[in-house]
Amino acid sequence: MDQQPNTDVIPGTLDLLILKTLSLQPMHGFGIARRVEQVSRGVFKVNPGSLLTALQRLERAGWLDSEWRISDNSRRAKYYSLTRAGRKQLDSETEDWTRRAGAVARLLKAEG
């Protein structure tokens, strides 16, 4: 078996990725997964089980709102959007991530 590159989302960052993606426009689950994959150029792949679990959790936390729309093939589709609290959460998580990622980057540079 050849070594496949790890496409798992870095633990703890899935919430941030979802919030960021939804900050642009309301979107359904598959859209979010596809967009994370595209923007990360295939570095991250999101599996539907984790994604939908995270969406349920974020919605219950009050960071997401959802509404049902009828899709083109007349099936029901659930669209998520960011709430005001979600936007605040995104800001604080972004800041937190930037600070920590910067620190890790500096450490790696110093090592090199």
The CB-of-42 to another protein minimum distance in angstroms stands at 12
Contact between 7 and another protein per CB under 8 A: no
Q: How far is CA 72 from the centre of its chain?
A: 25
What letter does residue 76 receive in the DSSP assignment?
E
Helix ranges (H only) for 1-112 are 14-24, 29-39, 48-61, 84-111
| Subset of 14-53 contacting another protein (CB under 8 A) | 28-31, 33-34, 47-50, 52-53
Residues within the interface to another protein (CB under 8 A):
28-31, 33-34, 47-50, 52-53, 56-57, 59-62, 68, 71, 73, 75-78
